[in-house]
Chains A and B, each alone.
Chain A
């Protein structure tokens, strides 16, 4: 049940059908297996590269299709239907957060070195901001980069890094001037295999289990100055620059997953009989589904509103934060209600609902918690 929102045109709908077919044929049938293995095949990155999904918003000269963020929004919504938050997170991280700073702030040479192979899916990227002692409080990051001739000497560690275990490069937030706060931050690209850079451990998670999430360590790691994105001290603005899209991407993923859950629930109440009639004939359940659909529609309209402002070039920080919070929290409620509607079956590992229920819980945490979103909104209110 898609409502008239005037945001997507015929070509977006056609692209949505293509993504849906890919998800249905190439992802969904394997979601369970990959979740159990806690890894999806690396070949999925190259497959997505082949399909052109990793470069939708990037220029053609670097292998992208320059189609714009609305197409990526379609991709994010549909990808979330694959039944594995880990698969959509791992693939999504590549184009929503890892490559975006390269596109925005990289030189031509840097783009050719990292962006081009990442768009083809031949190199996996990760974004490294969060640390054991600082996340959304980026001014408090402790990983340092001390200039030494043509290199930076980097020391510190990074936590909860999506794709971190098998990343070929990590776009790292570092303190190039440890004495300064916001103005002391810079972004450096560190390649796998650089001496002093390594994976401390692969983290065990409640959900998103098919994606790899790492703790990384850097010890006297010498990174060429040529790997600096933009200029020294611009890191804070660079990190903030992509937060809007990261948060919209999480909201869009929540919409896709919630829509899938609603469809599953609707089918179930039609098929399942109790006391001689289908569940859909019980008013209490009819109304619950009506409320679930309304909950989703509210989140959809707010998210699409923020998306419309964003693609129109506005820095819609309040609306984006609101959408991120509302949509991800809605998805948790949707998964919980869907689980309840399915009764005992909903609690079983053999249905996808339990996975959605676990995966959805990350939404109000990742990319800035709901509490951080509220802080941002409060600031926009002038308090």
Chain B
């Protein structure tokens, strides 16, 4: 089978993110970047599925030439080839999904596995748009029945499974009140939640092999996609600083404050 996965370049969660004084974006100086952790889980799940069923994993990223670093990372983890959509400017979720849809049409994968969201803007839209554009079924927030400390995880069993006839994908989804299992005919779009797997490290042999794996370069114009943003960020403001809490001397005061000041009980 062929699986397409995504590898968005995002700010490292360890970096300190600051909004610039004009409120037009964040201060890029001193930031470190990495692959979106949800996408890294998607890459891992793709690799586990092809380890079990055979096939190949194609990784896609959209951005300037710096996103090749994230593609190389996915290749070093074990992905077989990479597609780089070269575009340096801003993109909204619709444009990203439209570009991915074109890549999918060219690559014809059985499954497209994406992180459910990226940790920069936390939009959680692209997977759903992509399924709509392609007319495919979707199974979002793929999770696992077993814990990430379980033997199944240590044995690198995939959390996303194929049905007995191999024509559908069976996905456990994380929902508000627990886990729901859905079955979806392939080809399909799956988006990954945090509790699906623990991604492998890029091993040294993997890093060496990644050097000679191909990265195919595409452009929005070449794919015939108009990427003019329909959604524009007007202003960015940092969240208000948290006020210091107070200490109460006893339970009675606490109850009084909850009742009369906070009015929550």
Contact = CB atoms under 8 A, between A and B. Distances in A.
Given A14-B72, A14-B73, A14-B76, A65 B204 contact: yes
Interface stretch (A17-25, A119-127, A229-237): A17-25
B202 A18 contact: yes
B228 interface: no
Nearest to A26: B201
A51 B72 contact: no
Looking at chain A's contact residues, the main secondary structure is helix
Contacts of A15: 202, 204, 207
Interface in B14-42: none
B203 A18 contact: yes
A161 B73 CA distance: 39
A18 B77 CA distance: 10
A65 B201 contact: no
A8 to B, nearest CB: 13
B108 interface: no
Contacts of B89: none
Contacts of A21: 201
Interface in A1-27: 10-11, 14-15, 17-18, 21-22
B208 A67 contact: yes
B240 interface: no
A11 B205 contact: no
B204 A67 contact: yes
B211 interface: yes
Given A11-B211, A14-B73, A56 B204 contact: yes
B84 to A, nearest CB: 16
Nearest to B211: A11
A21 B73 CA distance: 13
A163 to B, nearest CB: 24
B207 A11 contact: yes
A52 interface: yes
A264 to B, nearest CB: 13
A17 B207 CA distance: 11
Interface string B207-219: 1101100000000
A259 to B, nearest CB: 14
A14 B207 contact: yes
Interface residues of B, number: 12
Interface size class for chain A?
Answer: 10 to 19
Interface string B63-80: 000000000110010000
Contacts, number: 33
B59 to A, nearest CB: 15
Interface in A56-104: 56, 65, 67, 71
Interface string A31-53: 00000000000000000000110
Nearest to B207: A14
B205 A18 contact: no
Interface in B189-243: 201-205, 207-208, 210-211
B210 to A, nearest CB: 8
A65 B201 CA distance: 16
Interface string B167-208: 000000000000000000000000000000000011111011
Given A11-B211, A14-B76, A51 B202 contact: no
Contact of B208 (A11, A17, A51): A11
B68 to A, nearest CB: 10
A89 B107 CA distance: 49
A18 B210 CA distance: 14
Contacts of A52: 203-205
Nearest to A271: B16
B211 A51 contact: no
Nearest to A52: B204
Contact of B202 (A10, A14, A56, A67): A14
Given A14-B72, A14-B73, A14-B76, A65 B205 contact: yes
A137 to B, nearest CB: 39
Contacts of A17: 73, 202
Contacts of A22: 201
Nearest to B202: A18
Contacts of B207: 11, 14-15, 18
Interface string B34-69: 000000000000000000000000000000000000
B229 to A, nearest CB: 32
Contacts of A10: 72
A109 to B, nearest CB: 27
A210 B207 CA distance: 31
Given A14-B207, A18-B203, 11 more contacts: A11-B211, A14-B73, A14-B76, A14-B210, A15-B202, A15-B207, A18-B201, A18-B204, A22-B201, A51-B203, A67-B208
17 contacts: A10-B72, A11-B211, A14-B76, A14-B210, A15-B207, A17-B73, A17-B202, A18-B204, A18-B207, A21-B201, A22-B201, A51-B203, A52-B203, A52-B204, A52-B205, A65-B205, A71-B204
Question: Shortest 7 CB-CB distances between A and B: which pairs?
Answer: A14-B207, A18-B201, A18-B202, A11-B207, A65-B204, A52-B204, A15-B204
